[in-house]
Structure formats: structure tokens, C-alpha cells
Amino acid sequence: MSQAGVVFVTGGASGIGRAVARRLAGAGSSVVVADQDVRNGNETRDLITAAGGHAMFEEIDVRDRKSIRTAADSAVSQYGRITGLVNCAGIVTMTSLAELSEEEWDLVVDVNLKGTWLVTQEVARDIEVAGGGAVVNISTVEAEVVVSSAGHCQVHYNASKGGVKMLTKALAVELARSSIRVNAVAPGPIATDFVSLEGITAPETLEALRGRLLIPRIGQPEDVASAVSFLLSDESSWITGVHLPVDGGWLTR
Ligand SMILES: NC(=O)c1ccc[n+]([C@@H]2O[C@H](COP(=O)([O-])OP(=O)(O)OC[C@H]3O[C@@H](n4cnc5c(N)ncnc54)[C@H](O)[C@@H]3O)[C@@H](O)[C@H]2O)c1
């Protein structure tokens, strides 16, 4: 796709997804902000249109096929086609193995992993009709290594995002015949509402983070947005199936 396509962004109501939506709209894309958070989703749309860009908001739950199909159909009737997809909706809960319930496991795995599959299955049909395009999944460095938060791991989150890494490769293989490239971006610690900002900017946490980060600062949503923009654009037309860390060097040592 060229940068000026039509991109469906799940999780576009806040944090990384909002930064992605604003960056793409600023480069000329029409953006479909798709999220379960109606208030913030509308706010992202308004921020884009106030800046002169093109955006619409659609309420979806990434676990619900009907809501995804309705949103994709609305996008096609509004903009005529969909050429790109960013799977950014995600959640984490901070629970130890001993305390993790089946309900909590199902919630996190369903939103992060099943949701990425379900949205891609639906929206890829539209991208194929448009003649091809690109998909970018938002993974995490925690698909590669285990980060022990609050004295324990998040086994459900680690498992879900490890699944997203392999799902990215499998989708890249299957969707190649439809001229759709599929890649993932794996952020390190990024300043959003996802994790408590106070938590990650506390002096002792910052000290621990700096022990791993080669570029000694917390990442910003825009750091991720620029990588997503590259992977959606024709600048990356020979890249598919990769899991690209955007992590200040977190995974290097
Ligand atoms: N912030 C970080 O440090 C960090 C690091 C690595 C990876 N990530 C990943 O980045 C992605 C975005 O996280 P963020 O930091 O912007 O957090 P965020 O909480 O600001 O954004 C997540 C968005 O997903 C939406 N969402 C959640 N469940 C949904 C559902 N069932 N259906 C539709 N929308 C839903 C939320 O409403 C929200 O707008 C997540 O997939 C997360 O795993 C974040």
C-alpha cells in the first residue's frame, strides 16, 4: 500500500494505537479507529479531524466477530476500501501463577491472541479485495523474554504475546498469496496507561530499566508509531514475517 491508504487500527482510542492513528493520518491515510472505548475513540477521531486528517470511529470488541465485520463494512462504505490493518488492542493483568484464574487467563489470551487472529481474518478479506496491503501486529519484548513484574511473571500475557509472534509468521505465509505482508512490532517499556506510569518512572524501576536499555529512556508511543508506519508503507515492500523490536536495545543483552 502507499502511505495514503485506508488503515483499520484496533486499540486506536489510546496510547500506542492513538499515536499510530495520528501518525498515519498525518501522512495522508484515512484511519478507522476501532476500539471498545467509545469516549477515547471519539476523541482520537476528533484530534485527527481537527488537524485536517480523515478518521472515523467504530466501536468493536476484538473478541466479537460481528462487531469487527460491522466496523469493516462501515469503513468500506465510508472510504471505499481498506488497505492496512494495525492490531494494537491489548490488555495485561499483573497476577502470579498461583493466583491466576481461568477467567483471567481467558480474558488476556482472548483479547491479545484470539482478537489478533479474528480481526485479521475479517479485515484481510477487505485488504485482498483492495488488491493487497499490509498488517502490523503489536507484540512486545515479552514475546521473547520474561520480564518479572511485581516479583512475578505474567504467564498469561507472555503466552498470549508469544502466540502473536508465531501467528504473525503463519499469517505472513498464508496471506502472501493475497499480496498482504504481515509483520509485528515488539515494543519495550512505553509510557502509556497500559502500565502505571508512576510504576515505571519510580527511581528504583528506572534504575532497573536502565540496566537493560542501551538508549536510557522510557519509549514514547511515537517511537512505536514510526516503526508501524514504515512497516505499512511501500518503503518496506520486501519485508514480511518479521518481529521487529522497538525497545531502546532492551533485547540486546
Ligand atoms: N505500554 C507498553 O509498555 C507496551 C509494551 C509492549 C507492548 N505493548 C502493547 O501495545 C498495545 C497497546 O498498548 P498501550 O500501551 O497503548 O495500552 P492502552 O491501554 O493505552 O491501549 C490499549 C487499547 O486497547 C483497547 N482494548 C482493550 N481491549 C479491547 C477489546 N477487547 N476490544 C477492543 N479494544 C480493546 C483499549 O480500550 C485501549 O484503547 C498492547 O497490545 C500492548 O500489549 C505495550
65 domain-assigned: yes
Domain with 227, as residue range(s), is 6-247
Res 200 pLDDT > 70: no
Residues 40-94 pLDDT 10s: 999 999 999 999 999 999 999 999 999 999 999 999 999 999 999 999 999 999 9
Distance, in Å, from the CA atom of 16 to the CA atom of 191, rounded to the nearest integer, reads 9
pLDDT at 196: 63
Nearest CA, atom 23, ligand 1: 11
Q: Could you tell me if the CB of 63 is within 6 A of ligand 1?
A: yes
The CA distances from residue 247 to 128, 216, 243, 252, in Å, are: 32, 10, 12, 9
With a CB cutoff of 8 Å and minimum separation 6, the contacts of 253 are 212, 214
pLDDT at 209: 79
> What are the DSSP E strand ranges found in the chain?
6-10, 30-35, 54-59, 84-87, 133-138, 180-187, 243-246
Res 1 pLDDT > 50: no
Sheet arrangement for strand 84-87: 54-59, 30-35, 6-10, 84-87, 133-138, 180-187, 243-246
pLDDT at 211: 84
Confidence of residue 151 (pLDDT cuts 50, 70, 90): confident
134 domain-assigned: yes
Q: Could you identify the residue written with the cell 488537524?
A: 51
73 domain-assigned: yes
252 domain-assigned: no
Question: In this structure, which amino acid lies at residue 171?
Answer: L
144 domain-assigned: yes
Q: Could you tell me if the CB of 90 is within 6 A of ligand 1?
A: yes
The chain-wide mean pLDDT, for the chain, equals: 95
Residue of 79, 157, 194, 250 marked active site: 157
Q: Could you tell me if the CB of 232 is within 6 A of ligand 1?
A: no
Ligand 1 centroid to 88 CA: how many Å?
Answer: 6
253 domain-assigned: no
- Structure-block grid coordinates of residue 11: 486499540
Q: Could you tell me if the CB of 37 is within 6 A of ligand 1?
A: yes
Q: Could you tell me if the CB of 123 is within 6 A of ligand 1?
A: no
CATH of the domain at 190: 3.40.50.720
Does 79 qualify as catalytic in the annotation? no
1 domain-assigned: no
pLDDT at 42: 99
Ligand 1 centroid to 92 CA: how many Å?
Answer: 8
When divided into structural domains, the chain yields a total of 1
Asked whether 56 and 49 are in contact (CB, 8 A), the reply is no
Confidence of residue 197 (pLDDT cuts 50, 70, 90): low
